[in-house]
Chains A and B, each alone.
Chain A
Amino acid sequence: MLKKIAIASGKGGTGKTTVSVNLYYFIHKYWTDKVQLLDCDVEEPNDLIFFPEAREKSFNVVNQQVPKIDNSKCTYCRDCVEYCEFNAIVVIPTVKFAEVNASLCHSCGACLHACKHGAMLEYDHKIGEIKKFDLGIGLGLIQGELEIGSSMQTMLIKDVIKEYNPETEIVLMDAPPGTSCPVVTTSADADFILLVTEPTPFGLHDLQLTIELMREIHKPFAVIINKDGIGDGSMEKYLEAEDIEIIGRIAFSKEYAANYATGKILNNLDETQDSFYRNLVMNLKEKLN
C-alpha cells in the first residue's frame, strides 16, 4: 500500500535534506526498494547533491497560463478588471489601453470567463522544470526546480507531488522551510509528517508554528531533534508538556557537518547512523501499517 511521508521544518537548515536523503537510503535497505524521493523544496532543491551517481532520466517544463489581451477585439468594457481579484489587469478606456501585469496574475482564469468579446487569450509562461533521476537504488528522485524570478512555487510543487511512480510503496517528500502555502501543499497529501528541528530558541519557535499548522490540517506527526546537544532544555520541556513524540535524536557533530558540506553523507555512514535510521525506519513502518 502506498504511503507518503513528508519531511518538514519551520526553520531552514535544521536537517530536512539530511533526513530525507538518509531515509531514502535506509528505507531501501530495511523496508522496501519501492521508495521514491520527491524534492519539493523547489526554490532551492538540494537532494540531488547527495547522490553523485544520479543519472537524469527525464525532464519536462512546467508552465503557468498567463492571459494576454487582444487589443483588436477588446472593447475596453472593464469586465475583466471587475473579475480580477488580484488587480492584475489595467484597462483605461479613455486612452484605449488594456494590459495584463503578469507579475500580479495568479492564473485563475477568471478574466477568460469575464470577457464576452474573445479578447482574452492565454499563453504559456515557464515557472520551472521537473527532472527525474535514477539513483541506482530505489525508484529514484523527482526534483522540482523553480525558474529564477518566478513566484509560483506552490503551483510547481502541486505538479511535483503528482509525478511519483505508480509502483511506489513509499513516497518521501522533502518540504521547503516555513509554515506557509508551499509547506501545506507538500504536507496535504502526506500520511505522516516528520518534523526536523534543532534545540535552539529559533528552532523551538519555528517548530511551535509548524505544530500549530499540523494540528490545523489534522496530520499525524513526530519530531526528530537534530543537532542534539546544542542549545538549552526548553525544546524538551515544550515537547513533554505538549505530549509530542520525539521519534529520533541526532547528536550534533562538527564532523558530520563537514561531510554534509561536501555532499558526502551516504559515503560516510557509520554503525551509529545505521542503527539510528534502522530504528527510525522500523518505527515508521509500524506507524504506517
Chain B
Amino acid sequence: MKEITVLSGKGGAGKTSITAALVSLSERAVFCDSDVDAADLHLILKPEVKESYRFDSGYKAIIDSVKCIDCNICKEECRFDAIHTDKGFYEVNPFQCEGCRLCERLCPAEAIVSVKNENNFWYVSNTRFGPLVHARMGPGEENSGKLVTVVRRKAREIARSLNYDFILNDGPPGIGCAAISSLTGTSGVLMVIEPSMSGLHDAKRLLDLINSFNIKSYAIINKHDISNKLTDEIVQFLKNNNIPLLGKIPFDTMFTQAMIEGKSIVELYPEAKSSKVLKKIWDYILVN
C-alpha cells in the first residue's frame, strides 16, 4: 500500500488546494485530512458523514475548593504551570493542564479529580471521489498528533478492507507533533514549496525532519512566478538534495475560484495550465 502525505512546513503554501486536485485525479484511493487543527479539505470534498467517533484526548484536572486545604503541593509539583491562585483559591487552567494526573495523586485532601475531555470528533465519510477520514478538534485542544495517528490508522484500515492501494493525506503546517504524526510510516512526502524566503527556510527544516525518518520525498513549487529568484534558489536546493521536482504551478486565481465553488481546480478548469501540471504530477506519483 502506498501512502503519500502532503506537507509544506510553512502554512498557506497550497497543500489543501493541491491535495484536493490530486484527490479528484485519483481512482481507488482513500483520503485523509491530517490537518486536524484547521481542517479544510472537507470544504472541497463535501463529505457525507457515515460514522462519527469521539476522540478522547486525555484528562483535565479539577480542584474542589471546598476540600482544598491550600497546601500548595499541586502548584509546586505541576510542571505545566497549570495551577493558579489569582482568584484567591486554587484552580486548574484546563488549557494548560496536560492530564498527567500527578496533582490528583499527590493531593493529601483528595480534592482533585480528573475528568475525560470529550471535545474532539473524527469521521469516516463518503465523497464523490472515495472515502475520507477527517476530524474536528475542539478549540484549544491538545494531542493533535494522536488524533492524526487515529485518522491515519482508520484510513489504512479502510484501504485494506476495500482492497485499495493508495492513501492520500493532507498534512498540517509546521514540523511539530502533528506533522511528525502525519509522516511516520508513510511511503512518501510530497512537499509543496512557496517561492519565498520563508517558504524555503521552512522547507529546509521540513526536509531535515523527513530525512530523519528516512522517508522518500518529492516537491512541487507552487506560485512559482511570485519570485523567479526564489524559485531558482529552490530548484537548486532540491537538486543539491536529490529531491525530484515534479512540477511548477503558477500563481493562479483559479485556485481561489475553485475553492469558492467547492471544487478542485482540476474539476472546475480541467484545461487550465495548473490542472495539466497537476495531472502530470499525479501520474508521476502513481508509478514512483
The residue from A108, A176, A262 contacting B227, defined by CB atoms under 8 A apart: A262
Question: Interface of B with A (CB < 8 Å)?
Answer: 9-13, 16, 37-38, 40, 43, 58-59, 77, 79-81, 93, 95-96, 98-102, 105-106, 137, 139-142, 144-145, 172-180, 194-199, 201-202, 205, 208-209, 212, 223, 226-227, 229-230, 251, 253, 256, 259-260, 262
Q: Contact check, A109 vs B260: say whether CB atoms are below 8 A apart.
A: no
- Which interface class (under 10, 10 to 19, 20 to 34, 35 or more) fits A? 35 or more
A150 surroundings in chain B (CB, below 8 A): 176
Q: Contact check, A17 vs B198: say whether CB atoms are below 8 A apart.
A: yes
- B202 to chain A: closest CB distance in Å? 4
The residue from A107, A182, A206, A260 contacting B38, defined by CB atoms under 8 A apart: A206
* Contacts A17-B198, A201-B259, A254-B251; A151 near B176 (Cβ below 8 A): yes
Q: Contact check, A149 vs B212: say whether CB atoms are below 8 A apart.
A: yes
A231 surroundings in chain B (CB, below 8 A): 256, 259-260
B105 surroundings in chain A (CB, below 8 A): 83, 110, 113
Q: Contact check, A154 vs B38: say whether CB atoms are below 8 A apart.
A: no
* Contacts A17-B198, A108-B98, A230-B256; A254 near B37 (Cβ below 8 A): no
Within the assembled complex, what's the spacing in Å between the Cα atoms of A213 and B197?
31
Q: Contact check, B137 vs A177: say whether CB atoms are below 8 A apart.
A: no
B175 surroundings in chain A (CB, below 8 A): 43-44, 146, 148
Q: Contact check, B38 vs A43: say whether CB atoms are below 8 A apart.
A: no
Within the assembled complex, what's the spacing in Å between the Cα atoms of A177 and B256?
20
How many Cβ-Cβ contacts under 8 Å join chain A to chain B?
Answer: 195
Map CB proximity to B onto A249-270 as digits: 1 under 8 Å, 0 otherwise: 0000010011011110000000
The residue from B139, B195, B230, B260 contacting A213, defined by CB atoms under 8 A apart: B139
Q: Contact check, B227 vs A258: say whether CB atoms are below 8 A apart.
A: yes
Q: Does A178 reach chain B (CB closer than 8 Å)?
A: yes
- A166 to chain B: closest CB distance in Å? 19
Q: Which of A173-207 contact B (CB under 8 A)?
A: 176-185, 188, 200-202, 205-206
A178 surroundings in chain B (CB, below 8 A): 37-38, 144, 172-174
The segment from A8-16, A68-76, A92-100, A276-284 found at the interface with B is A8-16
Q: Contact check, A200 vs B256: say whether CB atoms are below 8 A apart.
A: yes
Question: Interface of A with B (CB < 8 Å)?
Answer: 10-14, 17, 41-44, 46, 49, 83, 85-86, 106-110, 113, 146, 148-154, 158, 176-185, 188, 200-202, 205-206, 209-210, 212-213, 216-217, 230-232, 254, 257-258, 260-263
Q: Contact check, A12 vs B12: say whether CB atoms are below 8 A apart.
A: yes
Q: Which residue of B lies closest to A146 (CB)?
A: B176
A44 surroundings in chain B (CB, below 8 A): 9-10, 173-175, 198, 201-202, 205
A107 surroundings in chain B (CB, below 8 A): 79
- A287 to chain B: closest CB distance in Å? 23
Within the assembled complex, what's the spacing in Å between the Cα atoms of A113 and B76?
13
Q: Contact check, B40 vs A217: say whether CB atoms are below 8 A apart.
A: no
Q: Contact check, A110 vs B101: say whether CB atoms are below 8 A apart.
A: yes
Q: Which residue of A lies closest to B207 (CB)?
A: A148
Within the assembled complex, what's the spacing in Å between the Cα atoms of A188 and B16?
29
Q: Contact check, A12 vs B140: say whether CB atoms are below 8 A apart.
A: no
The residue from B95, B179, B227 contacting A43, defined by CB atoms under 8 A apart: B179
